[in-house]
Amino acid sequence: MKKLTQENAPVLEALEKLKQMRIVPFDVPGHKRGRGNKVLTEFLGERCLSVDVNSMKPLDNLCHPVSIIKDAEQLAAEAFGAAHAFFMVGGTTSSVQAMILTACKRGDKIILPRNVHRSAINAMILCGAVPVYINPQMDKTLGISLGMSIKDVKKAIADNPDAKAVFVNNPTYYGICSNLNEIIKMAHANNMLVLADEAHGTHFYFNDKLPAAAMRSGADMAAVSLHKSGGSLTQSSMLFINDKISEGYVRQIINLTQTTSGSYLLMSSLDISRRNLALRGNKIIDTVIDLVEYARSEINNIGDYYAYSREKINGDSIYDFDITKLSIYTRSIGLAGIEVYDILRDEYDIQTEFGDLANLLAYVSIGDRPRDMERLVSALSEIRRIYKKDSTGMLEVEYINPKVVLPPQDAFYTNKEESIPLDKACGRVCTEFVMCYPPGIPILAPGELVTSQILEYIHYAKAKGCQMTGPEDMELNNLNVVTEK
């Protein structure tokens, strides 16, 4: 048997062989290579439907890989500098949850920034872990949360020596990185694991112009969204671990929640994207960097907008910055980021990643072209000319320090719950999530106290057009809270 190299794509190669075989499918899926659903086949194409297949001997099994998936995962581990890799078909949400469920059991503490994705808090609801939040510092001008300062991490570790792990965003949605290497050093010195949410950091592994990548820096586990900046299909992700974590135990944890019907469309896209990045990633990402640097310069020349970059680095809470992130401050033209987002989509047919109350994020990756950047820059210039107004009266965005009253699991599963009008919830303990999506960072999470500042923020975000998600009442007129004694 020949030695596999990064030129190989075992899942892809196995599917190509399968297509050459004359197998009669008396198994699932029921569309039987597309023959049973003509409309779907016409929409997606016969080539796609012909490889939307179930686990079988030539194709291995995602729940217990022993052949081609195992080979593909090992190539991924080598490409990303990990001991083991796991193909994940439930998005990086499932990867983040697997990390926390591996590190923590009921009652265990985990140190983490409050600006985590909801998947991290969901994991604490599932396993009963108790959060020790490090409140990230705030850039009051931009209205964004920053990274974790080393001083705050050090204090959290000293105050909670029994914590099992430290969780790090690498980077944040806006491209901001904490001092990952120092955090790993401190955590390991205190026998704590380091878990990295690298949903937006796939490209860090393949270009030395970018911030430190978690697995190459010595983190214990990392959740990486190849579908975001790596080019794979939506919902495909990878989980990486070092050699100090039990591969078998992590697989058991993953199999608690991940489907037994792993999609070969998603797995082959991971395999193909890993190969592409391993062989050509440095050059591809250089092109992305050049595109973003060009757009950033042009946007800053328009006036009023501020497309920020490494000049924001302060050596601590902004230890490094991902220069592929095109994050744009919009309040200076009198518009919230979500308002610019809506105008770009509705009037210019430009779909950006998200807008918040002060910023817009245009996600740039391996599929973007120079002419697309020109169109974005031109549209932003027109929006400034047509829509600019006085910014007086806009809400000053500040980080809201959460008051955690109950562990997330206790609050979410409480049998003492009632639904009350949102405006009457001040002073009560929330039992559900409230967040703007994207990015899916909770404004309120189960177990947190509802304050007047939070209510003001929610009303302002709703008025500006932010998509509010999480609560049982999808209109967010009512909120579920713990019943008062």
Residue 400 falls inside a structural domain = no
Do the bridges between strand 138-139 and strand 144-145 make them parallel or antiparallel, or are there none, so unpaired? Answer: antiparallel
Query: Are residue 78 and residue 181 in the same domain, yes or no?
Result: yes
Do the bridges between strand 84-88 and strand 237-241 make them parallel or antiparallel, or are there none, so unpaired? Answer: antiparallel
Asked if 313 and 334 touch (Cβ cutoff 8 Å), the reply is: no
Query: Are residue 238 and residue 118 in the same domain, yes or no?
Result: yes
Of 248, 278, 308, the residue that ends a domain is 278
Query: Are residue 32 and residue 108 in the same domain, yes or no?
Result: yes
Task: Give the chain's domain count.
Answer: 3
Q: How far apart are CA 67 and CA 60, in angstroms?
A: 6
| Phi, psi for 358 (deg, rounded to 5) | -145, -10
Residue 91 falls inside a structural domain = yes
pLDDT of residue 197: 98
Residue 24 falls inside a structural domain = yes
Nearest CA to 103 out of 246, 257, 259, 258 is that of 246
Query: Are residue 246 and residue 348 in the same domain, yes or no?
Result: no
Q: How far apart are CA 30 and CA 225, in angstroms?
A: 29
- For residue 475, what are its two tokens? 């209109």
Query: Are residue 80 and residue 202 in the same domain, yes or no?
Result: yes
pLDDT of residue 248: 98
- In the predicted model, residues of the chain with pLDDT beneath 70 are 1-2, 396-399, 438, 485
Query: Are residue 327 and residue 364 in the same domain, yes or no?
Result: yes
Instruction: Give the global pTM.
Output: 0.94
pLDDT of residue 261: 95
Q: How far apart are CA 144 and CA 165, in angstroms?
A: 25
Residue 397 falls inside a structural domain = no
Residues 6+ apart with CB under 8 A from 188: 194, 218
Asked if 67 and 79 touch (Cβ cutoff 8 Å), the reply is: no
Other CB atoms within 10 A of residue 476 CB: 17
Query: Are residue 20 and residue 148 in the same domain, yes or no?
Result: yes
**b (16+ CB within 10 A) / e for 198-210:** bbbbbbbbbbeeb
The domain that holds 116 is classified in CATH as 3.40.640.10
What single letter denotes the amino acid at residue 26? Answer: F
Asked if 264 and 53 touch (Cβ cutoff 8 Å), the reply is: yes
| Phi, psi for 47 (deg, rounded to 5) | -65, -35
Q: What is the pLDDT of residues 277-314, one digit of tens each?
A: 999 999 999 999 999 999 999 999 999 999 999 999 99
pLDDT of residue 405: 94
The number of residues making up the chain comes to 485
Q: How far apart are CA 351 and CA 467, in angstroms?
A: 15
Query: Are residue 108 and residue 206 in the same domain, yes or no?
Result: yes
Longest dimension (CA), the chain: 70
pLDDT of residue 1: 57
pLDDT of residue 401: 77
Other CB atoms within 10 A of residue 61 CB: 16
DSSP 399: -
Q: How far apart are CA 58 and CA 429, in angstroms?
A: 53
Query: Are residue 375 and residue 429 in the same domain, yes or no?
Result: no
Residue 421 falls inside a structural domain = yes
Residues 6+ apart with CB under 8 A from 211: 170, 171, 177, 180, 201, 204, 319, 320, 321, 322
Residue 83 falls inside a structural domain = yes
The domain that holds 350 is classified in CATH as 3.90.1150.10
pLDDT of residue 10: 98
Other CB atoms within 10 A of residue 462 CB: 15
Q: How far apart are CA 477 and CA 422, in angstroms?
A: 6
Domain range for residue 321? 281-387
Query: Are residue 264 and residue 115 in the same domain, yes or no?
Result: yes
Residue 393 falls inside a structural domain = no
Of 355, 387, 419, the residue that ends a domain is 387
Of 251, 278, 305, the residue that ends a domain is 278
Query: Are residue 240 and residue 147 in the same domain, yes or no?
Result: yes
- What is the dihedral angle through the alpha carbons of 345, 350, 352, 354, rounded to the nearest 10 degrees? -10
Asked if 135 and 153 touch (Cβ cutoff 8 Å), the reply is: no
Residue 31 falls inside a structural domain = yes
Nearest CA to 217 out of 76, 72, 80 is that of 80
Residue labelled with tokens 């007129």: 477
Query: Are residue 288 and residue 267 in the same domain, yes or no?
Result: no
